[in-house]
Amino acid sequence: MEVYMMKKVWCVSGISLLLLTLCGSLVLAAYPEKPIEVIVAFNPGGGTDTMARVMTKYAEKYIGGSFAIINKPGAGGEIGFTAISQQSPDGYHIGCINPPAFLTYPIQREGVKYRLEDFTPIANVVMDPSAIIVKADSPIQSFKDLVAMAKEKPEELNMAYTGPGSSEAYALKVIKGAVGTAFNLVPFSSTAPGLSALLGGHVDVMILNASEIYSQVQDGQVRVLAAGSPDRIDWLPDTPTYKEEGIELISAAFRGFAGPKGMDQEQVKALETALKKVLEDPEFLAEAEKMKLPLFFLSGKDFGTFLQEMDGQLRAEWEKGEW
């Protein structure tokens, strides 16, 4: 009798375990069961928004579901970054983060409602060097012209940028120290309105990410004076780097995906894998080439390590002086 009962118990336990395993697999396989919301901390039409839309368009076939872009611009991205950190970690609420700007706000001022540890890194996909541009009909023909004019009229040339604490603000701090002059800085919530102001003649010069003005360069609307890449950008062969202009600076913005802390690691892996497959998709790569997207993939783990290292470097720089 005892042997029979033991066999019966083990049989029931085995069936229960099998059912739990099957149910767990079914739950896992079902992700995603509804659209995944992706918060973009900038206006439609900017570099991050464009990247997010094209990436998620291709990612849908690899994740087996759909994405919905939610724009939450303001305060140089801080509003959107905060919103990402406050979402439910259910796998259906993620967003785009933009280091180094994303990291600088909590360093620079009190009252910022997020910290790096409030996020789950998913993957980095872009490394975009900065560029300094003027309108095509501007009398400023080169970076040297820009510096000379700025020295003639200190703090009178209006420079559009994405606000205090941004990667552009840090680059301008380094440039100011190197050339010995400054600009009148005009902050905008994102690239799109700043670029509109430049093309409309309301500001004289702008610093932004190079990929964001590819079409304007091709259309002859803007002139690029210098770029923050380590080497000359392939589609801007005549544009010198900051280093070539005597400024020891490599300036680039990274764009990646992250969710709030506490996300299920299987969901994180599913999203990371889908994004990695996008960067290997021939059709996407052809479109990315047309858009001149500077692709640079980091896994969730590597992205997390990279963010921690950059955060430490920025904190050390902040101790030397604000930007």
> Between the CA of residue 153 and those of 120, 147, 150, 176, what are the distances in Å?
46, 10, 5, 14
Predicted confidence band at 145 (pLDDT cuts at 50, 70, 90)?
very high
Q: Where are the domains of the chain?
A: 29-128+252-320, 129-245
Per-residue pLDDT for 312 more than 60?
A: yes
CATH architecture under which domain 29-128+252-320 falls = 3-Layer(aba) Sandwich (3.40)
Looking at residue 90, its amino acid is D
Bridge partners (DSSP) of residue 120 are 259
| Closest of 116, 120, 97, 86 to residue 40, by C-alpha | 97
**pLDDT at residue number 5:** 41
> Between the CA of residue 151 and those of 146, 155, 185, 198, 201, what are the distances in Å?
9, 8, 15, 21, 21
Helix (H) or strand (E) holding 323: none
**pLDDT at residue number 323:** 67
**pLDDT at residue number 6:** 41
Per-residue pLDDT for 68 more than 90?
A: yes
Q: What are 154-184's pLDDT values in tens digits?
A: 889 999 998 876 778 889 988 998 999 889 9
Confirm whether 29-128+252-320 and 129-245 share one CATH topology.
yes
**pLDDT at residue number 26:** 40
**Cis peptide leading into residue 100 (ω within 30°):** yes
Predicted confidence band at 30 (pLDDT cuts at 50, 70, 90)?
confident
**pLDDT at residue number 29:** 53
Listing DSSP states for 26-86 in one string gives: HHHHH--SSPEEEEESS-TTSHHHHHHHHHHHHHHHHHTS-EEEEE---GGGHHHHHHHHT
Confirm whether pTM is higher than 0.85. Answer: no
Q: What are 181-197's pLDDT values in tens digits?
A: 889 999 998 888 999 99
CATH architecture under which domain 129-245 falls = 3-Layer(aba) Sandwich (3.40)
**pLDDT at residue number 322:** 66
Token code pair at residue 250: 């490599």
